[in-house]
A and B are shown apart, each in its own frame.
Chain A
Amino acid sequence: MSDRATEMPTPPALPTPIAVPEAVSPTRQTWQMFYQNRAAMLGLCILLVIIITSIVGPLLYTVPPREMVWMPLTPPGQSEYLLGTDYLGRDLLAGLINGGRVTITIGFAAAVLTVLIGVTIGALAGFFGGWVDTTLMKVTEFFQVLPNLLFAMVVVMLFSPTLTNIAIAIGIVSWTATARLTRAEFLRIREMDYVKAERSIGAGNSRLIWKVILPNAAPPLIIVAALSIGSAILFEAGLSFLGLSDPNAMSWGRMVGDNRPYILDSVWGVTIPGLAIFLTVLAISLVGDGLNDAINPKLRQR
């Protein structure tokens, strides 16, 4: 079996030794560009702080978020509860810390779902083309023309508003853009000669899709995935604001929604969780933009 691999004539003398540079993978180049981007690094730091706070915070700051602990509608700085209390006398800081956990979990979960559905459908449509493409794109169009918020509301109301269902509802309504982008990337890369070359050495379809094309299609998808965390957080906030939130979990959107009727008595109850949402989504956008700049092929092609 291996006989053919060794029947090579003696190779000619090696070309004169040269200084071989260090190997630089495209991925490493991207990270180097990313590290040099101050705005993106700032976004990343903010995001890390928020994520770490929402993971570790509840262990350190043990005030229960859903119990009355002080006089309702206390402004920040006027009690031992740093950010004051809401209309039920619940500690806003505890709400913020615990709600962050829920909000961010839903954001990530929904984004993962968005990417999974979107990439699978887009990859299959773009790679196989023909009737597979036509069918999958019709499905995509169907989901695209549905009014997102209404459809998500229907899903959540039909299957009780648990955290899982909310994440699934958000994922189901937001994968279409990812699918389209994935398909476009696959259509482009499918025609590349290195894909033909892989085929000519006997690579099968699944290797071509997942091991050859997908890694090369990944850069723009990573940007979209990052940004979709932000939009999932906003979407969750919107649903909570409309009262469709898990009654057993505190989230930032729910805090805004709950405190909305009392906005004239206490702006803080709405502003503080609102700011948290704003800051998180801003940080995610900064990271996404930074990734976009770092990945921009025009800067890297030469």
Chain B
Amino acid sequence: MNTQVPATVLCVSDLVVHFPLSDGKVVHAVDGISFEVPVGTAFGLVGESGSGKTTAALACARLVEATSGTVQLGDIDITQATGNALREARRDIQVVFQDPFSSLNPRERAGSIVRRPLDLMRIGTPAERERRVDDLFATVGLRPEQKALFPHQFSGGQRQRIGIARALATNPRLIVCDEPVSALDVAIQAQILNLLARLKRELGLSYLFISHDLAVVQHLCERIAVMYLGQIVEIGSRQEIFRKPMHPYTMALISAVPSTDMDTADTRIRVKGDPPSPISLPPGCRFAGRCPYAVPRCSESLPELVTKDGSHSVACFRADEPELQIKR
């Protein structure tokens, strides 16, 4: 089944997710995004609320139906798969959710939560499943004796470990992590991030990692795409994005992160206002209304994602102009 190992585990092209509203309007949650997740790496999707990053991730796991576009996992297009093909595909793509308090069924014991994917997909004999659950508990740093406990008897961090164990159960190739640490206390975040990093290294896992926290994404992800209102505005490697951000929005995001370095307070790019609603979108660049560098052209037509150097692409008309070059 895994005879050939392709270079990319997930290939998303031109993914569109629109939600029709009852009054005939349409929410443009995800508006034509394309990216690839190479095997054994973490790909970060960063953006603020309403950027469509979570919807995009859920569409990749077929938890939200795509309007158009393809999500290629191995030889299968997840957006089109049905029946057994979809079940097979689901083995390879699993999800870790944001809120460890709502992602575990409160009426199930921890052990049976982790065993459930094996039961539903009929993997192994019952005895093998039980042994596998013990292994998984150990892998995520829990003790097998805790299998009998119910979710409310665990702390937030431990619950997130259970969620990770459940996602690992079927030995997936890709795990979609939807803000896996943002609901946790800072001291616990480090534990979970280290666990995810270790699993990636030891199991050769790939992640599609969704977060609003740039520092977290920088820490874990080799490639990063910045989303704004349903579109990718910049995409590149970790170094490319942070050493030389090219889109004004990326720059604003980076400089808005409160730094513990006390001297950087005043070298900031500030954006005004809030993002426009994804229901009635402006015709031009979606960031133009808040962009400090916007020119009339920006609000007339939509800039396309253009590759600048290496694997670094940006969707901005003025990306090459000296005014936008970062002064270091």
Contact = CB atoms under 8 A, between A and B. Distances in A.
A and B directly contacting (CB within 8 A) = yes
B233 interface: no
8 contacts: A25-B107, A193-B97, A194-B102, A194-B104, A196-B97, A198-B116, A216-B106, A302-B152
B60 to A, nearest CB: 11
A6 B123 CA distance: 10
A60 interface: no
A202 B102 CA distance: 19
B105 A216 contact: yes
Nearest to A212: B105
Interface stretch (B35-43, B128-136, B258-266): B128-136
A187 B1 CA distance: 39
B312 interface: no
Contact of A14 (B98, B138, B148, B170): B138
B124 interface: yes
Interface stretch (B4-12, B44-52, B87-95): B87-95
A15 B128 contact: no
User: Which has the most chain B C-beta neighbours within 10 Å: A18, A23, A24, A27?
Assistant: A23
B106 A20 contact: no
Interface residues on B, range: 35 or more
B99 A193 contact: yes
A4 B89 CA distance: 14
Looking at chain A's contact residues, the main secondary structure is: loop
A160 to B, nearest CB: 44
Interface residues of A, number: 38
B182 interface: no
Contact of A26 (B62, B106, B132, B171): B106
Interface of B: 1, 58, 61-63, 86-87, 90-91, 93-95, 97-99, 102-107, 109, 116-118, 120-125, 128-129, 132, 135-136, 138-139, 141-143, 145-146, 148-150, 152-153, 163, 166, 169-171, 202-203
A201 B107 contact: no
Nearest to A29: B152
A4 to B, nearest CB: 5
Interface string A1-25: 1101111110110110110110111
Contacts of A202: 86-87, 90, 117, 120-121
A14 B116 contact: no
Contacts of B58: 196
Given A5-B132, A197-B95, A17 B150 contact: no
Interface in A100-145: none
A181 B1 CA distance: 47
